[in-house]
Structure 1
Amino acid sequence: MTKQKLLIKNAAVWTGDPDRPTSNAVLVEDGVIVAIGNEATDTGSDASEVIDAAGASVIPAFAEGHAHPIFAGLEQQFAKVRGHGTVAGIADAVAKFAADNPDIEWILGLGYDPSLVPDGCFDAKWLDTAVRDRPVALRATDYHTVWCNTKALELAGITSETPQPENGEIVHRPDGTPMGTLREWGATDLIFNMLPPISIEQKMDAIRWSSRRYIEAGVVFVQDAWVEPDDLEAYLQLARGNELELRYNLAFTAQPSEYRNQLQLFIDQRSVVRSVGSPFLGAETVKIFVDGVIEAGTAALLEPYHDCPGSHGIPNWSIEDLTAAVTAFDAAGFQLHLHAIGDKAIRMALDAVEVVQTENGVRDRRPTIAHSQLIDPSDLARFAELGVIANFEPLWAQQDSLQSILTMPRLGQERGNSQYPIATLLRGGARVSFGSDWPVSDHRPLPGIAVAVTRQTKADFPEGGWMPSERLSLPEALACYCSGTAYQAFLDDSMGQIAVGMSADLIVLDRNIFEIPSKEIGEVEVITTLVKGRVVHSTK
């Protein structure tokens, strides 16, 4: 059988390999890199396909360390509440969707901006102006907060007499009535438990849509960091039909009240995924939300919130249950993926991993703490010591409106200026991976890489960067989004670098990324994406 050869020439190749960081050409045979540099051009003269990069960058394809592709796709199917700069704009979008869909029982929307009002507290009355006769439930961009109308509160039985739930908060007006803002699962599930189920077909369409957006952005691996039991079938049907365009690893979400029963369920679901035998689908991870988010006041902090001295936030787990859960899931061979944002939650996660290593012994487990936003200085060295991967969403490491309106007032200036210590961890020997948390924020890696390098907003604020000592070099930032996440995914032996023997997961950019000002990195476009040597996206 004739081998399929593809040659990329006239390229500014960044390999990600410290021993040979740059080159000018790449030769691929049957999906595997077989030569780079002059050897590639010399032996690739008979290639059946040639890509002339015309001096632009060719780099390893990106790997997404933490995202929610089903949610991203479902946003397109519901009320378009993202991107509006006013409460009235959101209400108008809800009213339009309701008018266009008169037979839908619940009006749903995903991704409204919680920074539009003080403290992120939205009133049900504002949605009542749009829809009164049907329930409305909207998720904020943080996906930890819900804004609903009066009809939804009534159907859920939420009144001024409803006790505050464990692991959640019902926000009240000054007169004691429920306002319409609910925070964390203990409260939001009062609404979500009322919703009609989303169909498998809707979820499959959501994954298809998100996959295409990822491919266009040069992403070829995604860690889906929030998979419920009834989400799995959508992935399975796509895998069986050979419809997945990129690699997915699924993280089953464990709950504090259910994890003992969930253990066998997750083992069984993992076995089903393995039996499909798709190279594009795995289910080797368990996700645990250790806490919430700072902006909602639900991230777990060691010291009280600056704007609410009586509150340390809301840990979703007791340390006893967290330790028992992660020990059990690890013993079953699952990788741990721990959402931890506040410094108390991060310490809880590190403490639990330390117990796991003592109880379950040595193995290549690669536990990951997602977001790693606020870390107590005494815990920084523990990431490297315990082999814990710090997953960051680099786009968040800028002083944007979310920081200035919600985050910094919660933390205060001194504590706020210690967020996202990416360079400190990386240069201290810890493994670092990057992700986007899409649809919480932009799925495209290049805008995030620009922030990692500059620590600035698009308006170049602040001068010199926010916490400039935490700025990364461009090679460091690229590595976090390529080999760093490949390591998290246990794929570092096959992707994340351009080297002989590696899978040909590559992207061609529209310019040489190393020859432009750092602030322009976010404007760079991906013009070609290759998955295992096959061109799956091209703008030419």
Structure 2
Amino acid sequence: MTQTLLSDGVIWRGPGVPVARSILIDDDRIAALDDAADAAADDETRRIDLQGAFVMASWGDGHAHPLFGGLEAEGPNVRACTSVDEIVAEVGRYAAENPTDPDDPDSEWIFGASYDGSLAEAGLFDARWLDRAVADRPVVLRAWDYHTVWVNSEALRRAGITRDTPDPELGEIPHRDDGEPLGTLREWGAVDLVLNVAPIRPDEVRMRALQTAGRYYLERGVTWVQDAWVEPRDVDTYLEAADRGILPIRFNLAHYADPRAFDAQLPKMIKARQRVEEAADPLLTAHTVKFFADGVVENETGALLEPYCSGLHDHGMHVWGDGDALANAVKAVDAAGFQIHIHAIGDAAVRQALDAIQGAVEANGPRDRRPVIAHAQLIAEEDLGRFAELGVIACMQPLWAQQDALMTVLTVPRLGEERADRQYQLHSLEESGATLSFGSDWPVSSGDPRDGIAIAVSRQTAEGEPADGWTPHERVSIEDALHSYSAQVARQAFADQTDAPWGVVEPGASADLVILESDPRDAAASDLPGIRVVATFLRGTARYES
């Protein structure tokens, strides 16, 4: 048995719970606190003097896309670019440094992510701009929202997209004034036209991406992630990593439910869940199914009760239609024992998601299901209380609750000021009695909880604007924000139903901990992102130390 004693620190155990000063870890679990911890330590115990550092249960990410995030490091670095010209130059640089391998035709494809959709008017990017950098190889760049891609002319040609190609189901192909396809493809139906003819990234590339994602999270104090969009090949990747013993952190997989193929998908999801259970890796579960109820406001596919100000897409898009298809699919998934996880951005999508969950509860009877609605960017007043009534976890992305360029350039003009000021009702949901968990949607936005917590408590940009915070009545306290990024995510993950629960600091719990150099409760919001992560413990082992 390996013992570690952390002492002389501030060990935070949750809102309203007295802090501890020392903690004893036996192998992978917390054995004791304070005097009991000191008394149980012996001469063989490894002792770490915290020197006043702050310790709490490690953070979780309630909604993210770790494979997507890791794969960004395998292509051109367009995320850092601040103009179209910079993106084009970066793609050109990458192509020159990564020529096509004659023995591997798939290597001619160039994949990258995530460019800033606000760099072109209305988020519309032209294939000819990319052609300036690479004309003879297909280029596919995902936008920051991962609902949109920008491709060059060669990628359009490979996909057979021409001026005569109709908009597919669940997708849009914008055109130039001359009728030719522009090069921007919106939502899955259109995006899949290209991805279906593109090669799947090789196993070793995907394995590297998973390791990259794990390092990214461990450096930021995160030990559990909800992968919120998993397809069959992704399950294979995670199982291969588990077989090799190289899963870097805890993951739960959410199988992606596609309305175009759901009836055939559900039996495969059940088999995939069984494969993960048989692997019996303590870091891997697959008990969730992910639905998209709508798209995003920024490309006007988020589903709204009232039309967009511009009127371009009227009320937005219901991915499963506005009938009973989503409700029936949710009911079937719930009956199969899966956790429901629904992406819902607009107020119409949130209502549809709540209705579907209510239908599942009524049809399948009571059980501890912990359904999740992710994002919940806009909630109608009459629907706010339904989260608590139905036991729905609101997994929110606090980093988005700020008046940054995305909000001011793309979001507010589409919603109008009145609706825009009703976005991201963190405090209102908390006050209603709903469980409020936090996630990042990484790599759509920063996966660092410190960044999200800073916004949650201030509703200000990094520059401190506005001075009193945007919609300041929706701010949450620092302790509640820390709680939402730890214990509340653990509740979403059913961590309390395991033999060594994580997300809590108490004897018998898994020793999943994050050590910060100083107490975030004493810091100004603007200083929170700069508080150094000293170490991240997963199951009693320091997986990261700065």
Q: Which category of TM-score, normalised to the shorter sequence, fits these structures?
A: over 0.9
Asked if the contact 1:11–1:54 (Cα under 8 Å) also holds between the matched residues in 2, the reply is yes
1:171 pairs with 2:174? yes
| 2:35 matched residue in structure 1 | 38
1:437 pairs with 2:444? no
1:71 pairs with 2:68? yes
How far did 1:337 drift?
0.8
Q: Residue 171 of structure 1: SS of its match in structure 2? A: coil
| 1:423 matched residue in structure 2 | 427
Q: How many residues align?
A: 536
Asked if the contact 2:326–2:356 (Cα under 8 Å) also holds between the matched residues in 1, the reply is yes
Report the Cα distance in structure 2 between the residues aligned to 1:474 and 1:324, rounded to whole angstroms: 40
| 2:402 matched residue in structure 1 | 398
1:523 alignment partner AA: G
| 1:530 matched residue in structure 2 | 537
Asked if the contact 1:17–1:499 (Cα under 8 Å) also holds between the matched residues in 2, the reply is no
The runs of at least 4 consecutive aligned structure 1 residues that moved more than 6 Å come to none
Q: Over residues 423-457 of structure 1, what are the superposed CA-to-partner deviations in whole Å (9 max), with x where a residue is unaligned?
A: 10011100111111111111111111111111111
1:516 pairs with 2:513? no
Structure 1 residues 443 and 130: alpha-carbon distance in aligned structure 2, compared to 1, 3 A threshold: same
1:347 pairs with 2:351? yes
Per the normalisation by structure 1, the TM-score is 0.97
Q: Residue 82 of structure 1: SS of its match in structure 2? A: coil
Report the Cα distance in structure 1 between the residues aligned to 2:161 and 2:92, rounded to whole angstroms: 23
Q: Over residues 306-337 of structure 1, what are the superposed CA-to-partner deviations in whole Å (9 max), with x where a residue is unaligned?
A: 12265111111023111111111111111111
- After superposition, residues 139-538 of structure 1 pair within 5 angstroms as 139-308=142-311, 311-318=314-321, 319-492=323-496, 494-538=501-545
| 1:28 matched residue in structure 2 | 25
1:5 alignment partner AA: Q
Asked if the contact 2:394–2:435 (Cα under 8 Å) also holds between the matched residues in 1, the reply is yes
Q: Over residues 160-179 of structure 1, what are the superposed CA-to-partner deviations in whole Å (9 max), with x where a residue is unaligned?
A: 22212221111122332211
| 1:8 matched residue in structure 2 | 6
- After superposition, residues 82-121 of structure 1 pair within 5 angstroms as 82-103=79-100, 104-121=107-124
Q: Over residues 371-426 of structure 1, what are the superposed CA-to-partner deviations in whole Å (9 max), with x where a residue is unaligned?
A: 11111111100000011110011111111111011111111111001110011001
Asked if the contact 1:24–1:38 (Cα under 8 Å) also holds between the matched residues in 2, the reply is no
1:278 alignment partner AA: D
Report the Cα distance in structure 2 between the residues aligned to 1:79 and 1:186, rounded to whole angstroms: 25
Q: Over residues 203-261 of structure 1, what are the superposed CA-to-partner deviations in whole Å (9 max), with x where a residue is unaligned?
A: 11111111111111111111111111111111111111221121111011010011111
1:96 alignment partner AA: R
Q: Over residues 57-113 of structure 1, what are the superposed CA-to-partner deviations in whole Å (9 max), with x where a residue is unaligned?
A: 111100110111111111111121111011000000111111122213222111000
Asked if the contact 1:7–1:47 (Cα under 8 Å) also holds between the matched residues in 2, the reply is no
Deviates more, 1:303-312 or 1:335-344: 303-312
| 2:104 matched residue in structure 1 | none
Q: Over residues 322-373 of structure 1, what are the superposed CA-to-partner deviations in whole Å (9 max), with x where a residue is unaligned?
A: 1111111111111111111011111110000000001111111111011111
Structure 1 residues 17 and 44: alpha-carbon distance in aligned structure 2, compared to 1, 3 A threshold: farther
Asked if the contact 2:479–2:521 (Cα under 8 Å) also holds between the matched residues in 1, the reply is no
Deviates more, 1:95-104 or 1:203-212: 95-104
Report the Cα distance in structure 1 between the residues aligned to 2:414 and 2:511, rounded to whole angstroms: 45
| 2:103 matched residue in structure 1 | none
Q: What is the alpha-carbon root mean square deviation over aligned residues? A: 1.3
How far did 1:47 drift?
5.5
Report the Cα distance in structure 2 between the residues aligned to 1:17 and 1:414, rounded to whole angstroms: 33
Report the Cα distance in structure 2 between the residues aligned to 1:423 and 1:42, rounded to whole angstroms: 42
Asked if the contact 2:79–2:113 (Cα under 8 Å) also holds between the matched residues in 1, the reply is yes
Asked if the contact 2:15–2:479 (Cα under 8 Å) also holds between the matched residues in 1, the reply is no
Report the Cα distance in structure 2 between the residues aligned to 1:346 and 1:475, rounded to whole angstroms: 27
Structure 1 residues 98 and 162: alpha-carbon distance in aligned structure 2, compared to 1, 3 A threshold: same
Report the Cα distance in structure 2 between the residues aligned to 1:183 and 1:192, rounded to whole angstroms: 13
Q: Over residues 277-319 of structure 1, what are the superposed CA-to-partner deviations in whole Å (9 max), with x where a residue is unaligned?
A: 1101111011111111111111111111112265111111023
| 1:129 matched residue in structure 2 | 132
Deviates more, 1:506-515 or 1:371-380: 506-515
Deviates more, 1:495-504 or 1:375-384: 495-504
Report the Cα distance in structure 1 between the residues aligned to 2:34 and 2:360, rounded to whole angstroms: 45
Asked if the contact 1:483–1:492 (Cα under 8 Å) also holds between the matched residues in 2, the reply is no
Gapped runs of 5+ residues in structure 1?
Answer: none
Asked if the contact 1:73–1:207 (Cα under 8 Å) also holds between the matched residues in 2, the reply is yes
Report the Cα distance in structure 2 between the residues aligned to 1:199 and 1:463, rounded to whole angstroms: 48
Q: Over residues 15-51 of structure 1, what are the superposed CA-to-partner deviations in whole Å (9 max), with x where a residue is unaligned?
A: 1163x33121111222221222233234335452112
Gapped runs of 5+ residues in structure 2?
Answer: 101-106
Q: Residue 295 of structure 1: SS of its match in structure 2? A: helix
Asked if the contact 2:62–2:440 (Cα under 8 Å) also holds between the matched residues in 1, the reply is yes
Q: Residue 172 of structure 1: SS of its match in structure 2? A: coil
Alignment counterpart, residue 50 of structure 1, candidates 32, 47, 51:
47
Report the Cα distance in structure 1 between the residues aligned to 2:401 and 2:354, rounded to whole angstroms: 22
Asked if the contact 1:17–1:498 (Cα under 8 Å) also holds between the matched residues in 2, the reply is no
